[in-house]
Homo-oligomer: A and B are copies of this chain.
Amino acid sequence: MRSSDFSKRGGRPKVGLTREEVVAAAAEIADRKGMAALTLAALAARLKIKPPSLFNHVAGMAALRRELGMLALRELGDSLSNAAIGKSRDDAVRALADAYRSFARRHPGIYAETLAAGPEDRERNALSERILDVCFKILAGYGLDRRESLHALRAMRSIVHGFSSLEAARAFGIPVSIDESFAWLIDVFVAGLKSARKDAARPQTPREKRAKK
């Protein structure tokens, strides 16, 4: 039933486009020219097809964006998993952060589709959670308790996503190296991970009182 059943057929030109090819072409447009330029008309033109024919492969623009988001989550997950192999603690955190930012730079279009998901989409959330699991495992090396780990996870995500977003938006000026700024930020984060463990020993830290308000 899946389009991929046809992958054995060699003859390609006229009929026989797989959903994977359609999504890949869409991803390329999104990454090269931006999400705004990804239109069904443009995608069809690139595939030498008329727009309605796309509906044989994806159920419309919304579904296509969802596919792009899942593609991005899969590839990002792979990159992060690979980056974390054989590393632990600071080295692993830095490798993860670099891999994340690197992905966002290579794939600005589909990266943007990584977020925006409803709580109902189980297939997609599974891909997100795979990524979170990788981060969680790395953070486990710091011996934080459950609550602190979750704070650290959210913090790490905020940091790498925020930096990547701003970089993609060209929101940083030129005067100083952006790589250096990223390294600075990650250094601050890993330093924070270490002091967090000390804080965790004391049951009530100042920050917890503050957050209560």
Contact = CB atoms under 8 A, between A and B. Distances in A.
Contacts of A133: none
A5 interface: no
A195 interface: yes
A177 B210 CA distance: 12
B207 A170 contact: no
Given A157-B166, A160-B162, A151 B184 contact: yes
> By CB atoms of chain B within 10 A, which of A154, A155, A163, A191 has the most?
A154
> By CB atoms of chain B within 10 A, which of A117, A158, A207 has the most?
A158
> By CB atoms of chain B within 10 A, which of A119, A166, A175 has the most?
A166
A16 interface: no
Given A162-B158, A191-B192, A151 B180 contact: yes
Interface string A146-189: 01101110110111111101100111100111111111110111
B115 A177 contact: no
State the oligomeric state as a number of copies.
2
A85 interface: no
A208 interface: yes
Nearest to A178: B154
Interface of A: 94, 115-117, 119, 128, 147-148, 150-152, 154-155, 157-163, 165-166, 169-172, 175-185, 187-189, 191-192, 195-196, 207-208, 210-211
19 contacts: A151-B181, A151-B184, A154-B163, A154-B172, A155-B181, A157-B162, A157-B166, A158-B162, A158-B163, A161-B162, A162-B163, A165-B165, A180-B207, A183-B210, A184-B211, A187-B192, A188-B188, A188-B191, A188-B195
